[in-house]
Amino acid sequence: MIRVLLVENTRLVRGALAALLSREEDIEVVAEGDGNGEVLARALMCRPDVVVIDVDCKEGEDLAAKGELSARLPDCQMLLMMASPTPERLRRVLDLHAAGVISTNAPPDRLVYGVRKLVRGQRFIDPEFALVALDAGENPLTPREVEVLRMAADGTPTRDIAERMSLSVGTVRNHLSAITNKLGGRNRIDAIRIARESGWV
């Protein structure tokens, strides 16, 4: 049985999705939530195989970005529901810890198919987003460089970045210099702007 945690901030939509998934013999909706800060706690309590979450619930992208679910529940996959993503936003989601993305306009059977695909250890990108995904350029940065740049973009001082990542200050500066060169930025601020516009941080 596939255990699903369903997170959607609109009660009517959440109820409809729960009813849809529960019709399947191999799927059980073990918990529901509205995305107001309780997703991780509920996931830890009910241990779902898949979390289906509306990315417009702020917690959706936040959890994916921080990788909290992946770290605490490595066998749990996240399927994000999105409306009409820009190439940049879709690239950001795909570069994070979400195993799949599905359009909120998708037919019901596509959601069921996506859930089953994630449980089999495969990624799922809604066909509706295929052309958008092609428009989203490849991220030239390594995961570590993305982490460094994301903290720099949040205004974290170099020394604090070094401490959080267990690196020397010099190594962090080298990372930032390499990032700026890779992105063709004039300076660190310009590199952050380029990365944000491309959806990489």
Residue-wise pLDDT tens digits, 123-172: 888 888 766 655 556 678 888 898 999 999 999 999 999 999 999 999 99
Say which residue, 1 or 72, is predicted with more confidence.
Answer: 1
Give pLDDT tens digits for 2-38: 999 999 988 999 999 999 999 999 999 999 988 767 7
Q: What are the C-alpha distances in Å from 114 to residues 3, 22, 80?
A: 14, 15, 10
Which residues constitute the domain of residue 95? 2-135
d(CA 22, CA 28): 6
Domain C-terminal end among 135, 156, 176: 135
* 173 and 114 in a common domain: no
Q: Which residues contact 145 (CB under 8 A, 6 or more apart)?
A: 175, 178, 179, 182
* Shared-domain flag, residues 119 and 154: no
Same domain? For 185 and 105 the reply is no
Do 95 and 172 reside in the same domain of the chain?
no
Q: Does 42 share its domain with 63?
A: yes
The model's pLDDT over 148-157, given as tens digits with 9 standing for 90+, comes to 999 999 999 9
Residue 178's CATH number: 1.10.10.10
Q: Are 5 and 43 in contact (CB under 8 A)?
A: yes
Q: How many domains does the chain have?
A: 2
Q: Are residues 113 and 182 in the same domain?
A: no
The pLDDT, as a whole number, for residue 183 is 82
Picking from 86, 116, 135, the residue at the C-terminal end of a domain is 135
pTM of the model: 0.64
